[in-house]
Structure 1
Amino acid sequence: MTFLPLPPPGQTPLRVMTIAGSDSGGGAGIQADMRTFAMLGVHGCVAVAAVTVQNSVGVKAFHELPLDIITGQIQVVVEDIGVQAAKTGMLASAEIIGAVADTWRGLGADIPLVVDPVCASMHGDPLLHPSALDSVRTELFPIATLVTPNLDEVRLITGIDVVDEATQRDAAKALHALGPAWALVKGGHLRSSERSPDLLYDGTDFYEFGEARIDTGHDHGAGDTLAAATATALAHGYPVPDAVAFGKRWVTECLRAAYPLGHGHGPVNPLFRLSRDA
């Protein structure tokens, strides 16, 4: 695949922020975002919203950080260092979602924001209080440049069970109606397709992205990695469809290079770029 350009040594790289939860097992969340940021040559900045107790088998517990700490991280980074794009991940409560949305609007900056509406872990463990779903719809989606839910998240947010191309289009329309500029319905879990079909919608046009379905049980952090790569491409000035296409290619290669870890699901692996560049 064609990579994004790396900055010359000594030159300040582009900055991309992740506003998400920490994964103690290192497979998903902030840890996955930072690996992709590093491998794509941008400086990653962090606003930790929660700390999870998890490994390759599942999430055992999580702890939400105080609201002023979460929003303070965003403010001090944007005001001093500056960011060219940002993404969200695990925002576990309505209070956190509201505080992050208020802070983002208050910055008044035209910064692309990719919202990965993390509702549950890949193991099915809840990462979002049920009461927060309304806040996802009313607070988070209207400030998003792009939303990137998987099919389970689509069902929780819109009530639509995506089983084929027609229902995937219905879901994209329903997501877009909630306020984001662009809605991406990821099709990695759409087993009716031999490929992995993602569908992007801007309220007028549909854009389809299909990559080979990678047969692996090690896909922890795939959603985070796709959103992080897409946000990085947006930081480089890519139009949204091109940024999504890049993110799709990136996560596919990360899935090809995924490795086993622990007794459960291993992570997708952006470190494949090291061997490509060697």
Structure 2
Amino acid sequence: MQTPVLERSVLTIAGSDSCGGAGVQADLGTFAAFGVYGASVVTAVTARNTMTVQAVEPVSDLMIVAQMESVLEDLPIRAIKTGMLPSVAGIAILGELLERQDPLLPMVVDPVVIEPEGKKLTGETALEAIQNHLFPLATLITPNREEAEVLTGMNIRNMDDMVAAARELLDRGPQAVFLKGGRFGGDEITDILLTREGQYDYSHRAFEGRFHGTGCALSSAVAAGLALDRTLAEAVQDAVDYVQDCLENSVSPVKGRLGLLGHKPLR
């Protein structure tokens, strides 16, 4: 029996999460659920659990480049997702490598800034580098409300503020912005997708409690959808539905406070 040729791969460039709830581990679980092959470039190794982050060890810039070149030399990458990027020099090098790729290759940038516990994972200089080197290459960026506040310096208190923040971020170069976390009372969250053609709203149930890895799952689900030739609006809707399903099937940790998503194949 002849082995079928691998046709659709998605690359995640992100940190490793030792408890498996976020980062590369969550991305690969999401790719598998969408039926695409997942490859990875590890940018940092974290010692963390659902209680706290104990340690972060960045991977050397040379090793990031080596991983990236190794994957791109061999696999048919149809979309790229970036997550935690701790090194300013590494971000610049990564931007140069990505700029050499097919300009039509979809790229989803998740500007990982703040942990659910409120800890800041990315320094100001790294954030500036992400905006300078990656935003102009991005098909989509996927900040949550807190990250958008850090990136724009705005206080987001209502849906009008959400739209204004998304417009500010769109002006920084990406083709589109998906701003998450529009909950201002009530039982629903409204996320917004802002493109250069218009705005789409995505309303869904708000789950009580705090969860680990929702942003990673969302951004990697969008990347998987784009690799499967969905339109951006369709890929975002599929990603929102997928994360809602993961939240429905989430599990509580033994000691920590953050719920873990229940990844499973799409029905």
TM-score bracket, normalised by the shorter chain, equals over 0.9
- In the other structure, the counterpart of 1:3 is none
Does residue 48 of the first structure (1) align with residue 42 of the second (2)?
yes
Q: Are residues 193 and 177 of structure 1, via their aligned partners in 2, closer, same or farther at CA, if it must alter by over 3 Å?
A: farther
- In the other structure, the counterpart of 1:124 is 118
CA distance in 1, matches of 2:141, 2:186: 22
Q: What is the number of equivalent residue pairs in this alignment?
A: 264
Contact 1:47-1:74 within 8 A present in 2 as well:
yes
Contact 1:145-1:180 within 8 A present in 2 as well:
yes
Kindly state the Cα deviation for residue 185 of structure 1 after the two structures are TM-superposed.
Answer: 0.7
- In the other structure, the counterpart of 2:22 is 28
Deviant stretches of 4+, over 3 Å:
none
Partner AA of 2:229 in structure 1 = G
Which runs of structure 2 are paired with 1:246-257 in the superposition (5 Å)?
246-257=238-249
Q: Structure 2 length normalisation: TM-score?
A: 0.94
CA distance in 1, matches of 2:190, 2:12: 25
Contact 1:93-1:131 within 8 A present in 2 as well:
no
- In the other structure, the counterpart of 1:5 is none
Same amino acid, percent of matched pairs: 34
Partner AA of 1:129 in structure 2 = G
Q: Structure 1 length normalisation: TM-score?
A: 0.90
Does residue 205 of the first structure (1) align with residue 198 of the second (2)?
yes
- In the other structure, the counterpart of 2:227 is 235
Contact 1:93-1:129 within 8 A present in 2 as well:
no
Contact 1:15-1:42 within 8 A present in 2 as well:
yes
Partner AA of 1:179 in structure 2 = G
Kindly state the Cα deviation for residue 11 of structure 1 after the two structures are TM-superposed.
Answer: 5.6
Compute the RMSD of aligned alpha carbons: 1.7
Range with bigger deviation, 190-199 or 68-77: 190-199
1:196 to 189, 198, 217: 189
Kindly state the Cα deviation for residue 60 of structure 1 after the two structures are TM-superposed.
Answer: 1.3
Contact 1:58-1:125 within 8 A present in 2 as well:
no
Kindly state the Cα deviation for residue 131 of structure 1 after the two structures are TM-superposed.
Answer: 1.7
Q: Are residues 84 and 197 of structure 1, via their aligned partners in 2, closer, same or farther at CA, if it must alter by over 3 Å?
A: same
Q: Are residues 57 and 191 of structure 1, via their aligned partners in 2, closer, same or farther at CA, if it must alter by over 3 Å?
A: farther
- In the other structure, the counterpart of 1:84 is 78
CA distance in 2, matches of 1:109, 1:140: 13
1:94 to 78, 88, 94: 88
SS class of match (1:31): helix
1:260 to 252, 256, 261: 252
